[in-house]
Structure 1
Amino acid sequence: MRTDAEELGAAVLRLAGERTRLLGLGEPTHGVEAFPRLRNELFRYLAGHAGFRSVAIESDCLKGLVVDDYVAGGEGDVEEVVREGFSHGLGASAAARELVLWMREHNHGRPEHERLRFYGFDAPMELSGAASPREAVLRLHAALAAHVPLAWDVPEFAGLFGADERWDNLDAMMDPARSIGRSADAVRLRLLADDLTGYLDAHAPRLAGAGERDWWRARLYGRTATGLLRYHAAMADDTPDRLARLSGMRDAMMAANLLAIEARETGRGATLVYAHNRHLQRELSTMRLGETYVEWWSAGAMTHARLGDRYAFFATGVGHWPGLEPPAPDTLEGVLSALPGERLVADPKALAATGVRLKPRISTDYRYIPLEPDHDAEGIVFLKTAEADTEEAAAADAEQDAATDLPG
């Protein structure tokens, strides 16, 4: 007899399609342990039964390298790895620690082609602000300087960064005048990052020959450095569509990382991608920030435009969790709550074929973004209930709430 986890995983695989290379699993809110635990369950099943070889989560792509080194067998303390290797407060989740330990144990003694890899695919930012480009630019310079003569030494441009507080000022999110993104230093750094990524292209044969791992990371540093500086420049823009542009630019950086992951993992196995539903869905993403209504294309939509049916998306929803009123019966969550079982995987096309017109759920907790009645998705993963947050997850969620009330 199959376990509950096996039933869940088999149902996802049936709907995903054989060509899937990136399987997106969304979550409707952050900070609720039930969802990352579901992610862990599904990834264990996919790794064991469908040849998945990597997981990518909505966390800082540079910090994720710390986790990947550790699960590959590197030295370190798991508590420090989880603390330093996750962003957005995700390291406070017990499920994060469980995932890291399980991946490390799985990899022990296995040949390289069977080992699991960990990726963060988000940029070093949230909608509340963005990090200094210092780390990405310096890592890019070091990766190039190890193999290619460069026209600049670090002391010649290090002063352009200044204090990191100039870059990660949270006030700059809502006040373009507080952003450093179009200062003389930022403009010079943006040109420098562009020149350095040009070196990546011009010396690709030499750099690629130096080793796949270093070549992969050098390109990651290049994408991150140029993307961050582009984002900071947009933060200094005072045009009416500023927030929509910033949302789209962040997701474009996510999509670029996902496409690079898919290309790297070709021949090894597929990847489970885990993030907020709004970052993975294929339809236009929307949100309201005060009186401002924002629309943008998500990382999932951009990735699907490039990969077609090699990208699959499963939205996740919940019927009840503390603080959220039960769904009305004429909403998607209401219909799914009435079906048997504590959790299930539903086919949106089969639901649409019934002809029943469903209404959007009205969320009584701003953190929970309801399922769309007509989600363009391969499947809906639905939990009837989700228990209260652990203290760690609640603390992480509170930390994020203090910065922003936006998805991701």
Structure 2
Amino acid sequence: MTADKRIGRRGLLLAAAIAAAVLAPTAASAAPADPAGVHTADSRQAAVVRALESVAQPLRTTEPGGRSADLRALGAMIGDATVVGLGEATHGSHEFFAMKHRLFRYLVEEKGFTTFALETSWTSGLQIDEYLQGGGPGDARQVVKDALGGSPWEREEFADLIAWMRSYNRSHPRNPVHFLGDDLGLPKLGDPAFDRVASYLRQARPAALPQLEGLYAGLRPLDDLFGYIGKPVAERRENAVKAQQALDLVTVNGTPGDDAYEWAVQHARNIAQTFAFATFDLADPASVSAAEQLRDRAMAENTAWWQRRTSGKVLMSAHNGHAGYLSTDTFLYPKPQGSYLRDAYGRDYVAIGFTFDSGSFLTTDAVLTGGWKSVTVPAATPDMNEHTLDRVRHRDYYVDLRTAPRAARDWLDVSRPTYDAGSIFVNDPLPRLAIGRAYDVLIHLNQVTEARTF
């Protein structure tokens, strides 16, 4: 894989990982202490386990296909939600990815969901969705390599999901499913977002096209994030102003409500969001935090825009720290995407998180240049959330945290060490999380294995 492809295709994931590497260890060490600690009495743990067992629903499998009766209770927990956020405790575990496929199938077939949204760039989503609608050549594995190359999702599990979605569309042409990339992106020369904005203005207001092309001329390509971040902050801020001016230009030179106009504005908005994010200063922790806040807000806005434009239901896939209401790093991610979506949808948004007791997953180094490698972690220690969660009699299960018995809710609302790995994994110290304040529903797995690479 060339350096150009390795960096460009990762989109904002790369910048986020750099930021996380700068701040994560400090943020984790500053987390509040656990009042219960490692000295929680056996009797109290037993009471919590009994409370969880009284409402836990066993999960037959995480693998897609086959009987889905074990998902009916999960469907009831989701209810009539319009957007469901489904997290992942790591960016590299087979079981999390497979379960996303399985649950999306269920939601499509039983609850009328129409879109799978992923924490990947807007333009990668466009490329995959074109393939799903029959407009792109090749097979699902090649599409994943092209659109998601170098990312955590360049995996067999996502090729399987996309292959199923394309097959579903062939047999359901009047009610197709879609793929959305809700994240920011790193536009490149020929990037369809740039081209589609220009194409719209060429038709709607050709006199404004030269001004748009002048604004965009200095912005594309942006295919070397390391090099771009190395540029002076003032220069990057100037580029962000140009991207915003281009968005403003398109906004005032069209017909609101017209479908082509709405899409052109959204493409221009994504470009502006991307360049605004890329103004962060790695030497200033507050600047990095502000950029990550912008990113989570943008992901929520992109998801909501798509959902309202298509009037369909969306399964939004992201890391636990983006899908839920609380991150393990409250400085870097003070308000996750899930919290913004809750603001927008109220109870019509449901956040589902994952935990696991032990196993293997893929992770990379702090700046995503060392490739993805396998990491194995042992069974959770008594001070961790997962240690008590794994005492429940079901090997794998899910539970509605909103309606759990008081003994369980009180325990779930305490911050404890937890397994949490995005593109990088910091285990000394482990990050901390109060699970009950982070999600509406929790899926707990006894063990995970690393995702399948091509």
TM-score normalised by the shorter chain: which range applies? 0.7 to 0.9
Counterparts of residues 350-389 of structure 1 (less than 5 Å): 350-351=403-404, 353-354=406-407, 357=411, 360-363=416-419, 366=425, 372-389=434-451
TM-score calculated relative to the size of structure 2: 0.71
Q: How is 1:295-314 mapped onto 2 (pairs within 5 angstroms)?
A: 295-314=333-352
1:9-42 residue CA offsets vs partner (Å, 9 max, x unmatched): 3222222232x10001100110112111100000
Q: Give distance in 2, aligned partners of 1:35 and 1:382.
A: 10
The CA deviation at 1:245 is 0.5
Tell me which of 314, 318, 322 is aligned to 1:275.
318
Deviation (angstroms), 1:88: 5.5
Match of 2:238 among 187, 193, 204: 187
SS at match of 2:316: strand
How far does residue 162 in structure 1 lie from its aligned partner after superposition? 6.5
In the alignment, structure 1 residue 318 sits paired with structure 2 residue 356? yes
| Correspondent of 2:199 among 119, 139, 142 | 142
CA distance in 2, matches of 1:363, 1:282: 17
CA distance in 2, matches of 1:237, 1:338: 42
**Aligned residue in 1 for 2:53:** none
Match of 2:86 among 22, 25, 37: 25
Instruction: Summarize the alignment of residues 197-346 of structure 1 with structure 2, pairs less than 5 Å apart.
Output: 197-205=248-256, 208-209=257-258, 212=259, 214-233=260-279, 235-236=280-281, 239-266=284-311, 269-283=312-326, 285-287=327-329, 294-322=332-360, 323-329=376-382, 331-346=384-399
CA deviation map 1:40-61 (0-9, x unaligned):
0000111111111111011111
Q: Deviations over 1:273-316 (max 9, x none)?
A: 11001011113x3439xxxx534211111121121111110111
8 A Cα contact 2:247 2:269, kept in partner = no
Distance in 1, matches of 2:432 and 2:155, equals 23
Match of 1:110 among 172, 175, 191: 172
Once the two structures are TM-superposed, the CA of residue 246 in structure 1 deviates from its matched residue by: 1.2
Contact 1:59 1:88 in 2 (8 A): no
Of 54, 59, 67 in structure 1, the residue corresponding to residue 128 of structure 2 is: 67
Q: Aligned ranges for residues 2-21 of structure 1 at < 5 Å? A: 6-18=68-80, 20-21=81-82
Identity level (%): 19
TM superposition score normalised by structure 1? 0.79
> CA separation of 1:248/1:118 partners in 2, compared to 1, >3 Å: closer, same or farther?
same
Relative distance call for 1:181 and 1:83 in structure 2 (3 A) is farther
**CA-CA distance at 1:341 after TM superposition:** 2.6
Q: 294-303 vs 95-104, which deviates more?
A: 294-303
Per-residue deviation, 1:343: 1.6
- Deviation at 1:155? 6.0
CA deviations 1:169-218 (Å, max 9, x no partner) are 2683xxxxx235532x862663364244443355224xx54xx4x44532
> Which AA in structure 2 matches 1:354?
A
Which 5+ residue runs of structure 2 have no aligned equivalent? 1-58, 62-66, 361-375
- Aligned-pair CA distance for 1:257: 0.5
SS of alignment partner, residue 23 of structure 1: strand
How far apart, in 1, do the equivalents of 2:452 and 2:121 lie? 23
CA distance in 1, matches of 2:418, 2:113: 36
Distance in 2 (CA, whole Å) between partners of 1:245 and 1:372 is 23
Quickly say closer, same or farther: Cα 1:286–1:319, change in 2 above 3 A. closer
More off after superposition, 334-343 vs 240-249: 334-343
Contact 2:86 2:318 in 1 (8 A): yes
Indicate the residue corresponding to 1:94 in structure 2.
Answer: 156
Distance 1:152 1:261, change over 3 A: closer
Q: Distance in 1 between matches of 2:234 and 2:189?
A: 14
Checking the alignment, whether the CA contact within 8 Å between 1:6 and 1:45 is kept in structure 2 is yes
Q: Is the 8 A contact 1:359 1:373 kept in 2?
A: yes
User: What amino acid is the match of 2:120?
Assistant: S
Partners of 1:33 and 1:62 in 2: CA distance: 25
User: Alpha carbons of 1:133 and 1:353: their partners in 2 closer, same or farther (altered >3 Å)?
Assistant: farther
Paired residues of 1:180 and 1:232 also in contact (CA < 8 A): no
- Which position in structure 2 is the counterpart of 1:406? none
In 2, the alpha carbon distance for the partners of 1:313 and 1:256 equals: 16
Task: Write the distance in 1 (CA, Å) between the matches of 2:403 and 2:125.
Answer: 38
CA–CA separation in structure 2 for the residues paired with 1:140 and 1:157: 12
Native 8 Å contact 2:60 2:396 kept in 1? no
Tell whether the 8 Å contact from 2:215 to 2:246 is kept in structure 1 after alignment: no
**Contact residue 204 and residue 253 of structure 2 kept, 8 A:** no
Aligned equivalents of 1:47, 1:190: Cα separation in 2: 41
